Structure 1
Amino acid sequence: MWVFGYGSLIWKAGFNYDQRLVGFIKDYRRVFYQGSTDHRGTLDYPGRTVTLEPAEGEVCYLEVREKQYDQKAYLDFFTEPTATSPAVSGIMVYIASPDKKLNRNYLGPASLEDIAKQIVHAEGPSGPNRDYLFQLEKALLQIGCKDKHVMDLANEVRGILSQGEQTAS
C-alpha cells in the first residue's frame, strides 16, 4: 500500500516503510484549512494543519494520526512533471472535507494574516502550531518544492513573531 504524505508525513512518518518516492499528485493544492484539536491545538484554540482541495491544473508534492481527516481518496502519483502515466496508481490520500457535518474540525479559508495569527498562538500536545508550519516549509524546500501558500504563510508568521520580539524589547 502506498500513502501520499503532503504534510507532516513528509518529515515525520511515524511508521516503518519500505520505500519513499518524491513526487506529486495532480489537480489538488495544499491548504491550511484543517483544524487540529489533537496535535497542534486544543478544542478551545485549534491549530491549523494542511489538507488538500481540488484545484484544476495545480500539483501537490508530497489512521491514528489522520483521524480528523474524514475522507480517503486513491489517486495517481507522478515523479516527473512531463510524465503522461503515473509512477504509482491508487495511492491513498487522507483529505479533510469542508462538510462540517462530517468534519467538525474543518476551519476553511481565511486571510493569510488571520491564518498566521491563529498558527502563532495555537499549541497542542505535539507542540506549537508554528513548528508544524516551519517543518513543512523546510521539508518541502529540501525536496525542491516551493509551495507558495506554505512559504507565504511561513513568512507572515515570521513577521508576526518578529513584531512580538520588537514589542517585548
Structure 2
Amino acid sequence: MAATWVFGYGSLIWKAGFHYDERRVGFVRGFRRVFYQGSTDHRGTPDFPGRTVTLEPLTEATCWGVAYRIPEEEKKIALEDEASSIPAINGVMVYIGSEDKKTNPNYLGPASLDEMARQIAVAEGPSGPNTDYLFHLEESLKQIGCEDPHVTDLVAAVRRVVSTKEGA
C-alpha cells in the first residue's frame, strides 16, 4: 500500500498531533498561505473567532511547510485533524479551507492587514491566544529556513497593535 503523506503549512509545522514515520521540509506550488480561516474552537470562540491559515491559489506562489508520512494505523487519526524542481514526494494531502460559507461557515476571507492584526491581537480560545498561533508559525517557518511575507507583515502589525494597547 502506498504511503500517505500530509502537508502542514500552519500549526502542523510545530505540532503534528499524530504519530508519523517521517517528517520532511517541503513546499506546494501554486498556493500561498493566508490568514483567512476562522478558528472558533482553538484560537477563538464562536462569538469572536481567531484567524488561522489556509491556502489560496496563486499561480506563481510557493508555500513552504512540512510533509509527514503517516503509518497506516495512524492514518485515520491524522486525517481527522483538521530547492528542487522535481518533487521528492508526490500525491501529498493538503487541507484547504473552502471559501464556500455553506461548507465552511468559519471561512473569514480577506481583510486588511490592520483588521486581521486587531482580530488576532485579542482573539483567544481553548488552545490559547491567537497571537501564540501566529508567533509560533513565524518561528517555525524561520526554523525550516522559510520567510513568508504575509506572516512577517502580520506579525509586525500584531506587535504594533499589542504595543499600542500596552502603552494605553
| Superposition TM-score, scaled by structure 2 size | 0.88
1:110 is paired with a residue whose SS is coil
Distance (Å, rounded) in 2 between the aligned partners of 1:5 and 1:120: 23
Residue aligning to 2:127: 126
1:139 is paired with a residue whose SS is helix
Does 1:65 pair with 2:66?
no
2:93 is paired with a residue whose SS is strand
Q: How does 1:51-90 map to 2 (within 5 A)?
A: 51-62=54-65, 63-66=79-82, 80=83, 82-83=84-85, 85-90=86-91
Distance (Å, rounded) in 2 between the aligned partners of 1:121 and 1:60: 27
Distance (Å, rounded) in 2 between the aligned partners of 1:166 and 1:115: 20
How many residue pairs are counted as aligned between the two chains? 152
1:64 Cα deviation (Å)? 3.9
Residue aligning to 2:13: 10
Structure 1: gaps of 5 or more residues? 67-79
Distance (Å, rounded) in 2 between the aligned partners of 1:65 and 1:136: 17
Consecutive aligned runs of 4 or more in structure 1 exceeding 3 Å deviation: none
Q: Which has the larger share of helix?
A: 2
Residue aligning to 1:112: 113
How many percent of aligned residue pairs carry the same amino acid?
A: 64
TM-superposition CA deviations, 1:112-159 (whole Å, max 9, x none): 000000001110000000000000000001111000000100110001
Structure 2: gaps of 5 or more residues? 66-78
Distance (Å, rounded) in 2 between the aligned partners of 1:121 and 1:65: 25
Larger RCO (CA within 8 A; separation ≥ 6): 2
